[in-house]
Structure 1
Amino acid sequence: MAISTINPTTGRIEAEFAAHDAAETSRRITESAAAFAALGETCFDERAEWMRAAASLLEAESEATARLLTSEMGKPISQARAEVLKCARALRFYADNASTFLADEPVADPAIVAAQRAVVTYRPLGVILAVMPWNFPLWQAIRFAAPALMAGNTALLKHSSNVPQTALYLDALFERSGFPSGSFRVLFIGAGDVESVIRDARVKAVTLTGSEGAGRAVAAIAGSEVKKSVIELGGSDPFIVMPSADVEAASSIAVKARFSNTGQSCVCAKRFIVHTDIYDEFTRLFVEKTRALNVGDPMDESVEIGPLATEQTREDIAALVDDAIAKGASLLAGGHRPDLPGWFYEPTVLSDLTDDMRIVTEESFGPVASLYRVNDLDEAITIANQTEFGLSSSVWTNDAADEAAFISRIEAGAVFVNGMTVSFPELPFGGIKNSGYGRELGRHGIREFTNVKTVWKG
């Protein structure tokens, strides 16, 4: 398999790496298992010191690291910097809070369970495999690694093959910060080799962020081995705008919510569901602001839309747009490959969508927005829930009854009111339906890969 940095702005190969064979893969698993034994001799305070040191390294190296992210997957440089600093924040968050999140929980009145003492404890599982995507190449890995390491687990990362230098940076980061050697190790393996790693007795659990197909495969393997898995898959998030909303503000945030990271995010808003009373106004503003986005070299500070990360990603998004237009969708903006080297695609807005169009049911992983006109709240919720995904949602209303209805009835892992979906270290992140199961981040995320152990003394 090819493990290489192909700059999406130019299409040129910038670095290539050899895949790990079975012997090297096994050696790295052994190293991770040995590091788990070493971590077992440490306390939260020691791990927190190392985690804060990793955060300081990220902050000190933020510019070079951001440029690495941009060269490997094409995100605008300002967004790459923000990603690096967000990772440092997450490291500090878990350094500061892990001991509280995983503190023993004694039963207030142990006599209720016929004991002198009863307590719930949280213990690490061991070696955890993470299979991660390229779209947020640092953040996706850090939001797994920070809680896993602070809980006392060790980590193996099978990263996407197009971001190998980011993977190598992470491979070294935690060791440089003081964690025992092998606490975090990268595996340069192909998708076909993941199964053997999951089935290895030394590996105790697996987490994946990626496509629905990959998630189903990994979950099935983990299930057959009776191993814990956390699965975060795609999204087709609704962005609902009601008459009571601030339409100007909603349209501005809508553009950011759809086109940040060039639209390559599972949690980007993708379907814009707008009440008929303000549909025309919202559409005019949204289309105007979409057309004004600056497309170009992502190293340019003024650029807002970079290339797609891979040539296949661009072809996939173009095929969705072409299918919709062929079946009668209206093209309000974009819809073409600009005359630039690399894998660029114009920010695109479609309306007049029908159920036979692929974009209605499939995830659009790129800079394409779908507009829907609705007559009332019930119709908005019906369209919001008609997709097989359930990751997050954004609703815009200043009506308390509408807000309560959306929070109660939208089928998703999160509802953001009058704001775009953002992942925060402090809040759990994950979905339902075909968007996966389990949670990352927050108190819930660090507990996913622990043994919730009951201790009873009579």
Structure 2
Amino acid sequence: MKSINPATDEVEATYEQMDDQTLDHIINDAVQAQEEWQKRSFDERSQILIKAAKILKSRKNEFAELMAREMGKPLPQGVSESEKCAWVCNYYAENAEGFLEDEYIESDAEKSYVTFNPLGTVLAIMPWNFPFWQLFRFASPALMAGNAAILKHAPNVTGCALAIEDVLHEAGIPRALFRTVVVDVEQTQQLIKHTGIAAVTLTGSTRAGRAVASTAGEELKKTVLELGGSDPYLILKDADLEQAAETCVTSRLINSGQSCIAAKRLIVVEENYDSFLQKVVDQMSRMKFGDPFEDETDIGPMARKDLREKLHQQVRESIKRGANCVLGGEIPDCKGAFYPPTVLTNVAKGMPAYEEELFGPVVAVIKVADENEAISVANDTEYGLGAAVFSANIVRAEQLAAKKLKAGCCFVNDFVKSDPRLPFGGIKKSGLGRELSHFGIMEFVNKKTIYIN
């Protein structure tokens, strides 16, 4: 398997795929290691995660460079990602014991309560777009709960996967308890079926989620799926257009637009449309794409050329069906998997820019007559990950976010983001279950009822 620098097209490293016998040994060793790990106190586990956080901070520049080489993330964003991973490690180190305290419940018994036990060994199938964060937001609660973890990362960020393994081992996680496996899709399906795997978590596309859920379902294994999104951002008549435009552009272009919770459909009431569109175009046009190692770069390359080709096909097909491209939309004549900031208007139902997730620096700006139509368009999607509302009427905006928008995460006057203290996940075809907060750690424990007379 090859790791190819998406900015230069050069091969960074090659990795040998593991054979089935090696994988069997890794999982069996993890099962044994987990039996010992669950006996350790919360304090022992927390000290290891705190040390992992310190390592992540001390080596954040090194890890940012690795992310830049493997998937094109601009350096400042890679540094921030490492710091956020340290945050989630510390968060669960400090809170896991309280989250998993026995919960006493009155019943006909003399004593009855719920206790929380680890499930065992969890297989994590992770994506390339946030190669450190996606893993640590799963691993921190899973390990603190007493589970073992096997990481199957995206092939193009295998270097990141091995670096994460090194961080955790250096911090004191037993070697067998957390392992990276280098495998293909067919082997991944076999891993899910392995008797040593108790549960599976995947962050990735809806297509991948279906495949994993199907295999895990046949085996009756617990899954958590964080999948795609086509997040609507509603710009209402009393919105601060300057702030809304800046926030939407920032959200759309984080990680070169390769984020499941990016602002993908900007839904604007008619009276604000022209002014807001101009502000978005002005801000998008000022964003510079280029070498992720350069200070002036706002947008790095897309992670792979095949991903860029898919995005470009979606843009061209949307234009063919009647959308207008008012900025970008052309593949630049240079090395690397670069794609320019792109703005599409006149986007309507039946177009990829309306129906599908555009995973790159492309935004659709959609005009609607009023608030009611804005809500209708926002919910007219198979996805339900994130959404945002921009309005000066905070009470009304909160009502829309809480009661009207069909998504797992709804923000007011800000862009959707993940936070260790808040649950994260979607509905509809954006996934199953939740990560982060106390909800996240509850996904991979057995909520066991104890009844005593």
TM-score (norm 1): 0.97
Q: Contact conserved, 1:397 with 1:403, CA < 8 A, in 2?
A: no
CA distance in 1, matches of 2:413, 2:294: 31
Residue 101 of structure 2 is matched in structure 1 by 103
- In structure 2, list runs of 5 or more residues that go unmatched: none
Pick aligned residue for 1:44 from 30, 36, 42? 42
Pick aligned residue for 1:253 from 238, 247, 253? 247
CA distance in 2, matches of 1:63, 1:224: 43
Residue 88 of structure 1 is matched in structure 2 by 86
Q: Contact conserved, 1:377 with 1:402, CA < 8 A, in 2?
A: no
Say if 2:222 is the partner of 1:222.
Answer: no
Q: Contact conserved, 1:174 with 1:183, CA < 8 A, in 2?
A: no
SS for the counterpart of 1:193 is helix
CA distance in 2, matches of 1:31, 1:136: 28
CA distance in 2, matches of 1:171, 1:66: 16
The one-character-per-residue Cα deviations of 1:121-171 (angstroms, maximum 9, x if unpaired) are: 111000000101000000011111000000000000110000010010112
The one-character-per-residue Cα deviations of 1:52-87 (angstroms, maximum 9, x if unpaired) are: 000011111111011001110001111111001000
The one-character-per-residue Cα deviations of 1:255-290 (angstroms, maximum 9, x if unpaired) are: 101111011011111000011111111111100000
CA distance in 2, matches of 1:96, 1:301: 36
Supply the AA of the counterpart residue of 1:196. Answer: Q
SS for the counterpart of 2:233 is strand
CA distance in 1, matches of 2:27, 2:408: 33
Q: Contact conserved, 1:242 with 1:274, CA < 8 A, in 2?
A: yes
The one-character-per-residue Cα deviations of 1:367-426 (angstroms, maximum 9, x if unpaired) are: 100010111111001100111000010110122234313420111001100000010011
Say if 2:194 is the partner of 1:231.
Answer: no
Residue correspondence of structure 1 range 222-371 to structure 2 within 5 A = 222-371=216-365
Supply the AA of the counterpart residue of 1:19. Answer: Q
- In structure 1, list runs of 5 or more residues that go unmatched: none
SS for the counterpart of 1:389 is coil
Residue correspondence of structure 1 range 79-158 to structure 2 within 5 A = 79-107=77-105, 110=106, 113-158=107-152
Q: Contact conserved, 2:4 with 2:70, CA < 8 A, in 1?
A: yes
SS for the counterpart of 1:118 is strand
CA distance in 1, matches of 2:200, 2:121: 9
SS for the counterpart of 2:176 is coil
Residue 52 of structure 2 is matched in structure 1 by 54
| Deviation >6 Å, runs of 4+ | none
Residue 420 of structure 1 is matched in structure 2 by 415
Q: CA deviation at 1:181?
A: 2.1
Pick aligned residue for 2:204 from 196, 210, 220? 210
SS for the counterpart of 2:259 is coil
CA distance in 2, matches of 1:178, 1:329: 54
Q: Contact conserved, 1:149 with 1:155, CA < 8 A, in 2?
A: yes
CA distance in 2, matches of 1:357, 1:181: 49
Supply the AA of the counterpart residue of 1:410. Answer: L
Supply the AA of the counterpart residue of 2:232. Answer: P
Q: Bigger CA drift: 413-422 or 353-362?
A: 353-362
SS for the counterpart of 2:420 is coil
Q: CA deviation at 1:41?
A: 2.0
Supply the AA of the counterpart residue of 2:62. Answer: A
SS for the counterpart of 1:393 is strand
CA distance in 2, matches of 1:72, 1:254: 27
Residue correspondence of structure 1 range 181-192 to structure 2 within 5 A = 181-192=175-186
Residue 445 of structure 1 is matched in structure 2 by 440
Between the two proteins, the alignment pairs up a number of residues equal to 452
